[in-house]
Chain A
Amino acid sequence: MNGSEWLEIIIFFTVLLAATKPMGLYMAHVYQGERTFLSPIIAPGEKLIYRISGVSTEDEMDWKRYALSMLLFNLVLFGGLFTLLMTQHLLPLNPQKLPPFTWQLALNTAVSFVTNTNWQAYVGEQAASYFTQMVGLAVHNFVSAATGMAIVIALLRGFVRRKTSAIGNFWVDLTRGTLYILLPLSLVAAIFLVSQGVIQNFSAYKTVPLVHSTSYDKPKLDDKGTPLKDAKGVPLTENVTVTEVTIPMGPVASQEAIKELGTNGGGFFNANSAHPYENPTPLTNFVEILLILLIPAGLTYTFGVMVGNTRQGWGVLAAMLFLLVLAFGALQWAENSGNPLVAKLGVTGANMEGKDVRFGLAGSSLFTVATTGTSCGAVNTMHDSLTPLGGMVPLSLILTGEVVFGGVGSGLYTMLAFAIIAVFVSGLMIGRTPEYLGKKVEVREMWMSILIILTAGVTVLILSGIAMITPAAVASMANPGAHGLTEVLYAMASMANNNGSAFAGLNANVNFYNLFGSLAMLLGRYVPAVAVLAMAGSLAEKKYVPPSLGTLPTDRAPFVIWLVLVIIIIGALTFFPALALGPIVEHLTMGGN
């Protein structure tokens, strides 16, 4: 790391930490229905929305009704998007006359956006119309994020409330999260992004002449589009001269802002946040990383405020921050060391395959750990081309269940499930009563925590195993050997943990990945989400247990360290064999370092 890179990283984390408290406090006000500085502008609209849709802020739900409302809403969202994708050729704002999605791809894409995954088995600029991007996908970016935030707020109410079954109103939480938090921030961020060069228009794609024409060997295709080969099986090509290129346009900035802020990650273009029209300068890169981490960081403070002890929130944030900085250091080191096979050819410098120059190595590494520590999945670096150990960093962050800041809402609720496990295990070890935040941890909380933590992991391992014995799934690998296994493991991990980034060499638009992937995304999102709400319900019913000498303090450094260890131990126990066969074997065969 050079001096500027150190400075960039230090300034980044300073800004993030400085934003945590105001952001967290604001969100606490919003979800507790208190007045904020935006209330004069937004409150009238909010009231109108409640009136039209027949929602009452006084109408508190028990956990079952809250969960059912959440599922019902997501079902409607899914139906809406699936229909839209299948009919985009009939809808407006399609200047490129793009055809509809196949049903398998539409299913995968609709599930992907509803579950806040944003796994993309399609090429944005070649498959999705402006209407699809804007009215279909961008809406899901808002409401799937607001759904995750609502769920964690319900869980926090469970900790705070006593002897009640009420954990809030899903519709109110959803509406407040969208109107007061996501929309204003996205609006400001989108306009800032445009100022730096992110595009925002509805023009047809623009064709411009090249400054100097170029030529390439184009594979010859028959009428059906399959490549022609000569008698020896060598593909036939013809030399084609290119004198002009077509540059795609579209409403990108409005989508880019919410894509990062809501930890969604679905790119407007295939190259995602590496595309110069999505992320044109080092400053947009800095801001986009900040947007990814802003709400997850702020929610730790919201947590502290709501449970009445902000040290609890800072403790959780410290654990997240430690893991993120650790991951960043490992990735930066691995990529800075370069690829020894390439170095042998007389090449110097960091591994630049799959990275753009303007971000710098630190800007690429920081984006990569931020997007995989959270459930974002936007990329400014092609993870498939990272060095073996470098690639293991984002993979490991995803496999730990995305608790290193994590998705908006989902990161914190998964982290709190880990905290409950940590309290329970330490309680067993040192003979203290397992209590967390004044509530007794009992059988039901343990069951739910285990469901929250292990659902994704078990899904990943089973589906990766099935993929390995399915020829059609193996055929999708782009790179041979251990790296191919990593591609499949990464795909399943990304979908089951609702991340959405990829080792993108893998050809994922085939039935196997579209269908099993949809299953993974659904299980990975809704099993934990419902388990969290069930836990919220059971916690809210309990009485408050005041801290005694027998209570383990959870707002002190020893507990934070213990929490980090529990996360690492559970992750390593579950995934070490798979990681050993993928990235670690590849690293050992590569030599060097």
Chain B
Amino acid sequence: MKDIKPALLLFVIFTIICGGIYPLVVTGVAFALFPHQATGSFITDTSGKQIGSRLIGQPFADPKYFWPRPSAASDFGYNSLGSGGSNSGPTNPDYIKTVKERVSLLRDTGVTGAVPSDLVQASASGLDPHITPESARVQIPRIAKARGLSEEVLLQLVLQGTEPRQLGFMGEPRINVLELNIKLDGVR
């Protein structure tokens, strides 16, 4: 059967081209043009030490920080080694109980009025770096109290930290929680 030879050889050739040359070329060009992005968009502190990636959310549970969305990453929330969603079904009683607990926690820490859904429902990635501007605003009273800052200062911080829709129409306005909290630590 004369087609055995091309079957084997083309497998080898395409493995070399698509599995070797192609990713190496992409890596080379990526490092030449976009080294910061290619290596993970890391944020460095003033001493040049990497303190996280602006794309990967971090856990914050202390009242003096803006809280990110709930995370269903495996082992613990925002564990970047265990990305993923909760995969809870919408009618699962355990799931509804969990959401109820999250709402209660927000109520206990000074959130009045409607709770934005993104603040009590877990993200798809488990690493969502963003919250909606509404979700940031409802947390202002708690943080103001915990830090002894005026709500006005915090509101300004939230407004400055709000990224608009990309190109004016893509996605939704959003706030990067890690960057916001780093800035928050800088406020005296």
Contact = CB atoms under 8 A, between A and B. Distances in A.
Contacts of A586: 89-91
A197 B41 contact: yes
Contacts of A196: 37
A271 B124 contact: yes
B41 to A, nearest CB: 5
Contact of A356 (B87, B88, B124, B167): B124
Interface in B154-186: 165-172, 174, 178, 181-182, 185
Contacts of B37: 194-199
Interface stretch (A47-55, A393-401, A402-410, A557-565): A47-55
B131 A55 contact: no
A209 B56 CA distance: 13
Interface in B31-71: 31, 33-34, 37-42, 50-53, 55-62, 65, 69
Contact of A208 (B10, B19, B50, B91): B50
Contacts of A466: none
B75 A505 contact: no
Given A199-B38, A251-B23, A504-B85, A382 B124 contact: yes
A205 B39 CA distance: 11
A345 interface: yes
Q: Which of B69, B122, B124, B130 counts the most chain A CB atoms within 10 A? A: B124
B88 A479 contact: yes
B30 A200 contact: yes
B143 interface: no
B88 A357 contact: no
Contact of A285 (B25, B65, B171): B171
Interface residue tally on B, bucketed by range: 35 or more
Contacts of B18: 138-139, 141-143, 178, 183, 258
A80 B15 contact: yes
A189 to B, nearest CB: 10
Interface in B98-131: 99-100, 103, 114-118, 120-131
A201 interface: yes
B80 A8 contact: no
B50 to A, nearest CB: 5
A1 interface: no
A481 B126 CA distance: 25
Interface size of A as a range: 35 or more
B98 to A, nearest CB: 10
Given A247-B53, A345-B103, A479 B92 contact: yes
B10 A175 contact: yes
Interface of A: 4, 7-8, 11, 49, 52-55, 65, 68-69, 72-73, 75-77, 80, 123, 125-126, 134-136, 138-139, 141-143, 171, 174-175, 178, 183, 186-187, 190-191, 194-203, 205-206, 208-212, 214-216, 218, 240, 242, 245-249, 251, 253-255, 258, 269-271, 274-277, 280-283, 285-286, 338-339, 341-342, 345-361, 363, 379-382, 384-388, 478-484, 486-487, 503-505, 586, 589-590
Leading 4 A-B pairs by shortest Cβ distance = A282-B171, A505-B87, A382-B85, A479-B89
